[in-house]
A and B are shown apart, each in its own frame.
Chain A
């Protein structure tokens, strides 16, 4: 048993830390710290900074232009980027489609799309979920029919994160309705500017716009936009779901949240004393810290297994469940710390000098509500438990 990183790993950590200290622009850092909007411009600029260093596609091997990192280096990078208040890399092209193309795509697709992802030429979004197909993704209905040298697509996707910025969407579509559900699905790439594609915004609980509905009406795309084999899309979807699951605990983000909560509770005064001295609030923070401390190790243990075995196992569902719950608890503490001062609608006091919350905390309630999504998407925590029941308990 040895809980220390190797000297090489520590050196790498320092290198990453220095890189962020020198290269992360203040405005981007502030936007992350204050929960401001991470605009398309910000994200593209941030991606370009990482790309210049060769650190953008953290999961890609060297041959495709990635840094060729293993799980431990990725983990260190994630931790340090969080600690520096860098944004989360937009995952759709880099974390999702990239690995899919590397494993299932044709040489031509790899040569065309991968560099464009790295260079930020194409913004991708994920077209999996449909109004009737959420947890039960395999029941999806969006139809693609072959017509000459084109696919003709009709149907609807929903919950499409940042689809409003996207140039391309990768979709799971039904190409054979007459076989077992999982066996009639294909993975197809669609240029969002194709006639018949329509994006409509969905407003979220806290008022933000980050997800969309995407409608397809007789959308024609070339046959060569199929990735992998026809009707083998489910294999790709499953590959994606198990790929790079070691980061899903979001430990780096939670560590940052914990620090924020602690700092906030020292700033907030309650009748002449800092909130941090309120025993009940302090106990809540301590409880969260204990859970997070254990989670750090649980995360590292699974990372270690992944490093050893070459791939993460099904137990990573534990990371998703507990990681989201801990992060949600910390978001709750952030909101709770402000008491009634968390209640003003974000931005409703901007322009006045009557702030009710310390800088960076005016939208703590909004963050809390928005964050409820994390236990729903990416396979809900109930679905993760179903997976664990089967894989770990054998029941």
Chain B
């Protein structure tokens, strides 16, 4: 047994941490995350030069990684700085393109930005109710809250094709894209397709989509662990500094114990993500991804709410970095299935 990162992954983590710690400080992050185009195109270029995207795809697809642990390493680092770059879309698109055996050089180099349109207004999590359809190679429907959609060159769209799902490639210029900022920073878009010219990427794509979602879940959970870890440290530091009644508030036992409860939940989160990452791509991937997303949803809420509460008013401000961490951690629950959705999936596939 060994829970250490391999040398390569350790190097990837180190270089990402150094780069992001340097280039994605919170002031800069907040500036780009809430103003069009809701990320920083220059930093996107630098990040991809560091190999962040190549780490997401396996070697035979032109990448240098692609395992659950590679994804974890990258997204935990993104989570630590609340990085608003549209990496999740790239990851999920890459999974689909790998399944299709498609060339993804332009994706992995960062040259072409991809977003994946799965969920719809009335079917945000469970894709059995999708209403996007295809006729004569043209796609019609509306994809809602497509993360990274505001900055995408190409969309991979899940559409109903008879009894199964297919994935179509649609150029952003052929779609009507309305981009906007998210509550927790970074961008998304409403993507409306009206007989949009489309290229079939994958037919009978249910399994490939499930894999892409599982990979996305591992990514989001890792991102949450990174963000929770930072927010917890910030909270503990604040408990040590902030004085009321002539003593650091961290000397009040009730706050000490709650900070410990946060730590316990973060450790549990880290463990379940390791498990989900290990199982990604295997036969039980869905079950463990769902376990992770459920646990992270619960732990995230506890960590975010307790962090705010134990800071007092200061964490209610935009200026205090902790508030942005809390927002991101809470909103992650609403991406790719919330804690209830994944609980029911675990119950079903047990």
Query: Chain A: residues with CB nearer than 8 A to chain B?
Result: 129, 132, 134-136, 139, 158-159, 202-207, 268-272, 278, 280-281, 284, 332, 335-336, 338-346, 348-349, 352, 354, 356, 365-366, 368-369, 372-373, 375-377, 380-382, 385
Interface residues of B (CB under 8 A from A): 34, 119, 121-126, 128-129, 144-145, 178, 180-184, 188, 190, 192, 243-246, 252, 254-255, 301, 305, 308-309, 312-313, 315-319, 323, 326-327, 330-331, 333-335, 338, 340, 343-344
The distance in angstroms between the C-alpha atoms of A127 and B312, with both chains bound, is 17
B145 A356 Cβ-Cβ under 8 A: yes
Known: A159-B313, A203-B318. Contact between A343 and B244, CB under 8 A? no
Nearest-neighbour CB distance to chain B for A129, whole angstroms, equals 7
Q: A205-B308, A341-B144, A342-B331 are in contact. List 4 more A-B contacts (CB 8 A).
A: A280-B340, A341-B145, A344-B181, A345-B183
List 5 tightest A-B contacts by C-beta distance, closest first: A271-B129, A348-B180, A203-B318, A136-B244, A280-B340
Q: What residues of B have a CB within 8 angstroms of the CB of A377 in the complex?
A: 313
Which listed residue, A205, A270, A352, A381, touches B326 by the CB 8 Å rule?
Answer: A205
Minimum CB–CB distance from B301 to chain A (whole Å) comes to 8
A380-B255 Cα distance, complex, nearest whole Å: 13
By secondary structure, the B interface counts as mixed
On whether the beta carbons of A129 and B305 are closer than 8 Å, the reply is no
Query: Is the Cβ of B318 less than 8 Å from the Cβ of A207?
Result: yes
A150 nearest CB across to chain B (Å): 31
Taking CB as reference atom, which chain B residue is nearest A138? B245
Q: What A residues does B315 contact at CB under 8 A?
A: 205
On chain B, the residues within 8 Å of A366 by CB distance are 183
Nearest chain A CB to B147 CB, angstrom units: 8
Task: Look across to chain B and name the residue whose beta carbon is closest to the beta carbon of A159.
Answer: B313
Please, which residue of chain A has its CB at the minimum distance from the CB of B318? A203
Contacts between the two chains (Cβ within 8 Å), count: 144
Docked CA distance A373–B311 (Å)? 11
Whether A134 lies near B244 (C-beta < 8 A) is: yes
21 sample A-B contacts, Cβ–Cβ < 8 Å, listed by A number: A129-B313, A135-B245, A203-B319, A205-B315, A205-B316, A205-B318, A270-B125, A339-B124, A339-B125, A342-B334, A343-B331, A343-B335, A345-B183, A349-B178, A352-B190, A354-B178, A365-B183, A369-B327, A373-B316, A376-B309, A381-B309
Which residues of the partner chain B approach A341 to less than 8 Å between Cβ atoms?
121, 124, 144-145
A136 contacts B245, C-beta separation under 8 Å: yes
In contact, B122 and A206 (Cβ under 8 angstroms): no
A372-B124 contact in complex given A205-B327, A340-B144, A348-B181, C-beta closer than 8 Å: no
The answer for the CA separation of A75 and B178 in the assembled complex, in Å, is: 46
With contact pairs A136-B244, A349-B190, A356-B144 given, residues A376 and B316 touching in the complex (Cβ less than 8 Å): yes
Q: Would you call A376 and B331 a contact (CB within 8 A)?
A: no
Q: Find out whether the CB atom of B309 lies under 8 angstroms from the CB atom of A345.
A: no
Chain B residues near A372 (CB, 8 Å)?
A: 305, 308-309, 316
**Shortest CB distance A269–B (Å):** 4
- B residues near A373, Cβ cutoff 8 Å: 313, 316
With A270-B123, A278-B340, A382-B255 known as contacts, the answer to whether A342 contacts B183 (CB < 8 A) is: yes
Determine the distance from Cα of A241 to Cα of B318 in the docked complex, in whole angstroms: 28
State in angstroms the CA–CA spacing of A381 and B258 once bound together. Answer: 14
Specify which chain B residues have a CB less than 8 angstroms from the CB of A139 in the assembled complex: 244-246
B305/A352 in contact, CB under 8 A = no
B319 lies within 8 A of A202 (CB): yes
Distance of A369 Cα from B329 Cα, bound (Å): 12
For B243, what are the chain A residues with a Cβ–Cβ distance below 8 Å?
Answer: 132
Known: A134-B244, A345-B183. A340 touches B316 (CB 8 A): no
Instruction: Please measure, in the bound complex, the distance between the C-alpha atom of A285 and the C-alpha atom of B170, giving whole angstroms.
Output: 40
The CB with the most chain B CB atoms within 10 A, among A129, A158, A271, A380, is that of A271
A269 and B123 CA atoms in complex are apart in Å by 7
B124 A345 Cβ-Cβ under 8 A: no
User: Bound state CA distance, A369 and B318, in angstroms?
Assistant: 11
Q: Smallest Cβ distance from A311 to chain B, in angstroms?
A: 27
- Do B183 and A369 touch (CB < 8 A)? yes
Q: Which residue of B lies closest to A344 (CB)?
A: B180
